[in-house]
Amino acid sequence: MKYFCLVILMALAVQAESAIQVTSTAFHEGSLIPAKYTCDGENISPPLAWTSVPRGTKSLALIADDPDAPMGTFVHWVMYDIPATERKLGENIPREKTLTNGTRQGVNGSKKIGYTGPCPPSGTHRYYFKLYALDKMLELQPGATKQQVLAAMKGHVLGQGQIMGRYKKKG
């Protein structure tokens, strides 16, 4: 029994260590994303921050998507090879293939580089900003798709976290 309890405690410790806390000063978990970050506003990326990155992390990856889109999950943002030392993304990240710190951006559901904001055709949709801690640099060429990033990450995820915001298009 003692051995069984020890195994469970160790598993919980690993889970706790691998849970990255993702936050935003623009919105809170489950709350509405301000129009500024959507097609109804400036359509710029929101600020994000994170803590509790696992030891051994070599890079981070971010995927933002909308699972409520009528034609299937719509990808709003793909970033990878984010330096492991970074703990935030400022507001309005440039829509460039490679940022000055080496971070690479992939294509979104509109086949464009960088962020594209929420713009649901009807109803309120959920938008998940998922951050992954990886034990290696992905070294994919800029402009990779979500599927390519997920395939390259397989077997290399040390931890992950997310923040979810909601949005309903105006008028």
Q: 46: how many CB neighbours lie within 10 A of its CB?
A: 26
C-alpha distance from residue 64 to each of 6, 26, 54, 111, 147 (Å): 36, 15, 21, 14, 13
What residues of the chain score a pLDDT lower than 70?
Answer: 1-18, 171
> From CA 149, how far away is CA 80, in angstroms rounded?
8
pTM of the model: 0.89
**CATH number of 2-168, picked from 3.30.1490.190, 3.90.280.10, 3.40.50.2300, 3.40.1190.20:** 3.90.280.10
pLDDT of residue 11: 42
Residue 170 confidence (pLDDT): 82
What are the start-end ranges of the E strands in the chain?
21-23, 48-51, 59-66, 74-83, 88-89, 104-105, 124-134, 157-168
- The predicted pLDDT at position 113 comes to 98
Look at residue 55 in the predicted model and tell me its pLDDT: 96
List 126's β-bridge partners, or say none.
Answer: 166
C-alpha angle with apex 118: 115 to 119, nearest 5 degrees? 125
- Only one residue has tokens 């460039």, namely 96
